[in-house]
Amino acid sequence: MYGHVAKLADEIKKGATSVEGVEAKIWQVPETLPEEVLGKMGAPPKLDAPIITPQELAEADGILFGFPTRFGMMAAQMKAFFDATGGLWREQSLAGKPAGIFFSTGTQGGGQETTALTTVTQLTHHGMVFVPVGYTFGAKLFDMDKVQGGSPYGAGTFAADGSRWPSEMELEHAFHQGQYFASIAKKLKGSA
């Protein structure tokens, strides 16, 4: 809504496309809030990224889902999109596809872990292969000297009241996740 997830997505795409032979696209899900409400919330205009349809998920070799957190779980816009994937679920069109997640929360207790855990249920029902980044990013995840988002589930940032933007470390984590995920997705596609 405010651009924090988009900033992470840009870095994830850079990381993914740094893997030879990998193409990455950024999409956005349909907005569910009326323009009047978005205006009152101070939301900036939407990105130029195309709006994805559920069927387009089936065309991908792997999918990294990024979204803001609302009350410890994915935002309603993302949940509404997942709810629209019933046809894909019925056909198991996403089964076996690698999937990962990244997110933005307002505070340290705002859902960096619960959002990931509640998202895994969506992936599981589709039979997707959850590819967490784990601790492959290294010691930077253990740095307690600064406030930083992200976890072994995926890259993340803390937006606070919207004024805090992803830190350099959070962007590096996002780049790493894109690169790591793309290499796993490429290996899975090559072995299919």
**Per-residue pLDDT reduced to its tens digit, 46-78:** 778 999 999 999 999 999 999 999 888 999 999
Give the C-alpha separation, 160 to 137, whole Å: 24
The pLDDT mean for the chain works out to 93
Per-residue DSSP letter, 29 = P
Give the C-alpha separation, 147 to 115, whole Å: 19
Give the C-alpha separation, 104 to 4, whole Å: 7
Pick the closest to residue 173 from 62, 66, 57, 60 (CA basis). 66
Task: Pull the structure tokens for residue 124.
Answer: 């599981």
Mean pLDDT in residue range 74-92 = 96
The full DSSP string for 36-63 is HHHHHTTPPPPPSSPBP-HHHHTT-S-E
What is the tens place of the pLDDT at every residue in 166-183? Answer: 999 999 999 999 999 999
**pLDDT (0 to 100) of residue 174:** 98
- Which run of H or E residues covers position 69? strand 63-70
Mean pLDDT in residue range 2-20 = 96
Task: Pull the structure tokens for residue 9.
Answer: 């997505």
Q: How many residues does the chain have?
A: 192
Give the C-alpha separation, 155 to 150, whole Å: 4
- How many C-beta neighbours within 10 Å does residue 185 have? 25
Backbone angles phi, psi at 63, to 5 degrees: -140, 130
**pLDDT (0 to 100) of residue 39:** 82
Domains of the chain: 4-190 (3.40.50.360)
Give the C-alpha separation, 72 to 109, whole Å: 8
What is the tens place of the pLDDT at every residue in 31-41? Answer: 988 889 988 88
Give the C-alpha separation, 89 to 95, whole Å: 8
Reported confidence tier of residue 43, pLDDT bands at 50, 70, 90: confident
Pick the closest to residue 60 from 77, 85, 90 (CA basis). 85
> Which amino acid is residue 76, in one-letter code?
A
Reported confidence tier of residue 192, pLDDT bands at 50, 70, 90: low
